[in-house]
Amino acid sequence: MFDRRNFLGSAVAASISHPVGAQALKAVPLPAADLHGRDEDAYWKALRAQFLIPSDVVNLNVGTVGSSPRPVLKAIFDGFAQTEQMTQPGSEDYPIWGYGSWDQYRRPFADFMGARVEQMAILRNCTEANSYVANGCDMKAGDEVLISDEEHGSGEMPWMLRSRRYGVVVKKFAMPKPPKDAAEILNRINDAITPRTRIIFVSHISTSTGVVLPAKEIAALARSKGIVSAFDGAHAPGMIKVDLNDIGCDLYTGSMHKWLFATKGTGFLYLRDKSIMDRVWNTIATGGYDDPTRMADRYMQIGSSCIPTLMGLNAAVDLANNIGMDRIEARGRMLCDYIHAEMMKRGAEDWTSPDPALRGAIATVNVPPVQRMELQDWLWTHHKVRIRGGNPSKLRLATPYFLSKADIDRFLGLYDEFRKIKGIA
Ligand SMILES: Cc1ncc(COP(=O)(O)O)c(C=O)c1O
pLDDT at 126: 98
Ligand 1 centroid, distance to 134 Cα (angstroms): 15
Least confident of 11-25, 144-158, 346-360: 11-25
Choice from 128, 154, 239 to test ligand 1 binding pocket (greatest atom count within 8 A of CB)? 154
Ligand 1 centroid, distance to 234 Cα (angstroms): 5
pLDDT at 21: 59
Contact residues for 298 (Cβ-Cβ < 8 A; gap 6+): 121, 277, 282, 288, 289, 290, 291, 292
| pLDDT tens track for 268-303 | 999 999 999 999 999 999 999 999 899 999 999 999
CB of 155 within 6 A of ligand 1: the answer is yes
Residues 15, 17: Cα–Cα separation, whole Å: 6
**Nearest-atom index, ligand 1, CA of 151:** 1
Ligand 1 centroid, distance to 154 Cα (angstroms): 6
| pLDDT tens track for 299-355 | 999 999 899 999 999 999 999 999 999 999 999 999 999 999 999 999 999 999 999
| pLDDT tens track for 112-130 | 999 999 999 999 999 999 9
Task: For the chain, give every domain's residue range.
Answer: 4-60+324-421, 83-318
pLDDT at 19: 52
Residue 20, pLDDT > 80, answer no
CA 275 to chain centre: 27
Residue 25, pLDDT > 80, answer no
At residue 9 the predicted structure's pLDDT band, cuts being 50, 70 and 90, is: very low
CATH entry 3.90.1150.10 includes domain 4-60+324-421 = yes
Residues 390, 69: Cα–Cα separation, whole Å: 28
Choice from 61, 122, 124, 127 to test ligand 1 binding pocket (greatest atom count within 8 A of CB)? 127
**Nearest-atom index, ligand 1, CA of 129:** 11
CB of 61 within 6 A of ligand 1: the answer is no
Ligand 1 centroid, distance to 159 Cα (angstroms): 15
- In terms of Cα–Cα distance, which of 362, 384, 375 is closest to 416? 375
pLDDT at 13: 46
For ligand 1, atom 7, which residue shows the shortest CA distance? Answer: 126
CB of 264 within 6 A of ligand 1: the answer is no
CB of 209 within 6 A of ligand 1: the answer is no
Residues 341, 350: Cα–Cα separation, whole Å: 10
pLDDT at 23: 56
CB of 388 within 6 A of ligand 1: the answer is no
Choice from 157, 159, 175, 255 to test ligand 1 binding pocket (greatest atom count within 8 A of CB)? 255
CB of 234 within 6 A of ligand 1: the answer is yes
User: CA gyration radius for the chain?
Assistant: 22
Residues 198, 385: Cα–Cα separation, whole Å: 44
CB of 207 within 6 A of ligand 1: the answer is yes
Secondary structure in 3-state letters for the chain = CCCHHHHHHHHHHHHHCCCCCHHHHCCCCCCCCCHHHHCHHHHHHHHHCCCCCCCCCEECCCCCCCCCCHHHHHHHHHHHHHHCCCCCCCCCCCCCCCCCCCHHHHHHHHHHCCCCHHHEEEECCHHHHHHHHHHHECCCCCCEEEEECCCCHHHHHHHHHHHHHHCCEEEEECCCCCCCCHHHHHHHHHHHCCCCEEEEEEECECCCCCEECCHHHHHHHHHHCCCEEEEECCCCECCECCCHHHHCCCEEEEECCCCCCCCCCCEEEEECCHHHHCCECCCCCCCCCCCHHHHHHHHHCCCCCCHHHHHHHHHHHHHHHHHCHHHHHHHHHHHHHHHHHHHHHCCCEECCCCCHHHECCEEEEECCCCCHHHHHHHHHHHHCEECEEECCCEEEEECCCCCCHHHHHHHHHHHHHHHHHCCCC
CB of 203 within 6 A of ligand 1: the answer is yes
CB of 152 within 6 A of ligand 1: the answer is yes
Instruction: For residues 138-167, give the mean pLDDT.
Output: 98
Q: Which CATH class is domain 83-318?
A: alpha beta
Residue 14, pLDDT > 70, answer no
Residue 3, pLDDT > 70, answer no
Ligand 1 centroid, distance to 53 Cα (angstroms): 22
CB of 148 within 6 A of ligand 1: the answer is no
Pairing of strands 120-123, 267-271: antiparallel
CB of 175 within 6 A of ligand 1: the answer is no
Residues 392, 385: Cα–Cα separation, whole Å: 19
Pairing of strands 251-255, 228-232: parallel
CB of 79 within 6 A of ligand 1: the answer is no
